């Protein structure tokens, strides 16, 4: 299983939110590059970079942070937040992201998402399924669509989606454990997708459980920043040297 640390950006700083609430914010690094270098030096290979300003503004904002991290590390970066237009996707890829995570557009303009999928291929795009009470949330988690996770995934997996990152928003930033039963249900229905779990990871045991379920990857944020998971403890996973 791939361990994928998260760096969430607001006003150029690395922060973590609780349940996606912008008024429940903790700043961990004034310069996100410091966090990225820490991960890279520990042998981590991947990074989940989220533009929270972009998610709120409906367009990519913090692309310069992406550019700096891509230039200064060898991390494989997936970038999400504010990817709403062709121009946003071009900015993301031109500034060093290996993949783009797309959620709101896939829910609101599926034909545009499918166009991107056809143009860039399934290796470049990650479908973001962020859930509130089983329904897909959009626009920085401020709105809720009518899609259940199964309806949402069915529409896009049938179009060739390979990577899916799924967040149970009620658990995000809360350190209460991941939504293991949800991920088990998803993989029972879509056995061939590369499912990345996000939200709630609080300790090493949570990661081992997600690996046992069959998740392709797990995004970890607050548990690392708060010292609940030591970077050296991640060496047992195949994606960390």
Residue 157 dihedral angles phi and psi, to the nearest 5°:
-65, -35
Phi-psi region of 43 (alpha: psi -120 to 50; beta: other; left: phi over 0): left
Residue 240, pLDDT score: 52
Q: Check which CATH number belongs to the domain holding 148 and give it.
A: 3.20.20.70
Report residue 213's pLDDT band, with 50, 70 and 90 as the boundaries.
very high
The residues annotated with a catalytic role in the active site are 8, 130
Q: What 8-state DSSP symbol labels residue 236?
A: G
**Per-residue pLDDT band at 239 (split at 50, 70, 90):** low
Question: How confident is the model at residue 241, as a pLDDT?
Answer: 43
Residue 4 token pair: 């994928």
Residue 135 predicted with pLDDT over 90: no
Where do we find the tokens 């913090």? 62
Residue 241 covered by a domain = no
Read off the pLDDT of residues 4-25 as tens digits, 9 standing for 90 and up. Answer: 999 999 999 999 888 778 888 8
Q: Which helix (H) or strand (E) holds 151?
A: helix 149-157
pLDDT in tens, 39-59: 999 999 999 999 999 999 999
How large is the average pLDDT for residues 159-181? 89
Q: Give the residue-averaged pLDDT of 199-211.
A: 95
pTM metric for this prediction: 0.93
**Domain ranges, residue 46:** 2-236
**Is 11 part of any domain?**
yes
Q: Percentage of the chain surpassing pLDDT 70?
A: 98
Sign of CA dihedral 203, 208, 213, 215: positive
Partners of 181 in the beta sheet?
Answer: none
Residue 117 inside a domain? The answer is yes
pLDDT grade for 165, boundaries at 50, 70 and 90: very high
CA 8 remoteness from chain centre:
10
Six-digit token string for 171: 């658990």
How many separate domains does the chain show? 1
Q: Is residue 225 part of a domain?
A: yes
User: What is the average per-residue pLDDT within 135-161?
Assistant: 87
Mean pLDDT of 146-153: 92
Two tokens at 218? 């797990």
């Amino acid at each position: 299983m791939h361990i994928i640390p998260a760096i969430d950006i607001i006003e150029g700083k690395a922060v973590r939110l609780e349940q996606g609430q912008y008024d429940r914010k903790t700043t961990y690094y004034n310069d996100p590059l410091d966090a990225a270098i820490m991960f890279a030096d520990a042998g981590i290979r991947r990074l989940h970079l989220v533009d929270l300003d972009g998610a709120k503004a409906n367009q990519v904002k913090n692309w310069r942070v992406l550019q700096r991290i891509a230039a200064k590390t060898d991390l494989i970066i997936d970038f999400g937040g504010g990817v709403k237009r062709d121009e946003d996707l071009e900015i993301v890829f031109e500034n060093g992201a290996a993949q783009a995570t797309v959620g709101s557009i896939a829910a609101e303009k599926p034909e545009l998402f499918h166009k991107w999928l056809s143009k860039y291929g399934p290796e470049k795009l990650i479908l973001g399924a962020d859930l509130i009470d089983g329904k897909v949330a959009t626009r920085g988690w401020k709105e809720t669509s009518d899609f259940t996770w199964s309806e949402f995934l069915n529409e896009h997996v049938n179009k060739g989606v390979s990577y899916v990152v799924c967040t149970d928003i009620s658990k995000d930033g809360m350190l209460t454990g991941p939504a293991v039963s949800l991920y088990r249900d998803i993989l029972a229905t879509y056995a061939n997708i590369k499912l990345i779990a996000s939200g709630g990871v609080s300790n090493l045991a949570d990661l081992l459980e997600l690996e046992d379920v069959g998740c392709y990857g797990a995004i970890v944020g607050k548990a690392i920043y708060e010292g609940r998971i030591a970077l050296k403890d991640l060496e047992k996973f195949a994606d960390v040297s």
